Amino acid sequence: MDDECLFCQIASGKIASDIVYEDNDVVAFTDVSPGAPTHLLIVPRVHLASLNDTDTKDIELLGKMMRAAITLAKEHDLAEGGYRLVINTGKDAGQTVGHIHLHLLGGRSLSWPPG
């Protein structure tokens, strides 16, 4: 059995997904259970379990995730109408996959605060 986490395996291509963007550092793919017309996940190729496991050495990587999300938002015509970027961290935030991932949600009006 493979002990790599789900998103490590998606990032390396071992598990198929609908990849919409990739470079040396980050991979983005469509969320399998979309919560909005556009729902993408942007993940680092390296395994980091959550924001709690990042450090100052990861500042550039976190910025690259954010930049990829902004580029994807523009490509999906979300810039004008708006969109939301979310990183669920830990149990109370509902994090279900232990590999840091930035949600990009858009294409409909999003309520605030989230549940």
Out of 63, 90, 94, 114, which residue is the one contacting ligand AMP (CB under 6 A)? Answer: 94
Nearer to Zn ion, 7 or 83 (CB): 7
Ramachandran class of 27: left when φ > 0, alpha when ψ lies in -120 to 50, beta otherwise = beta
- Alpha-carbon distance of 43 to 32, in angstroms, equals 14
Binding status of residue 81 toward ligand AMP by CB under 6 A: no
User: Which of the 8 DSSP states describes residue 91?
Assistant: G
**For 80, how many CA atoms within 13 A lie in the half-sphere containing its CB?**
1
Active site residues: 101
Binding status of residue 99 toward Zn ion by CB under 5 A: yes
Binding status of residue 97 toward ligand AMP by CB under 6 A: yes
Out of 1, 2, 24, 33, which residue is the one contacting ligand AMP (CB under 6 A)? Answer: 33
- Alpha-carbon distance of 54 to 66, in angstroms, equals 15
Residues linked to residue 104 through DSSP beta bridges, in sequence order:
40, 85
- Alpha-carbon distance of 27 to 11, in angstroms, equals 6
Binding segment toward ligand AMP, per CB under 6 A, in 20-28, 30-38, 55-63, 104-112: 30-38
Residues that bind ligand AMP (CB under 6 A): 6, 17, 29, 31-33, 41, 88, 94-97
Residues that bind Zn ion (CB under 5 A): 5, 7-8, 47, 99
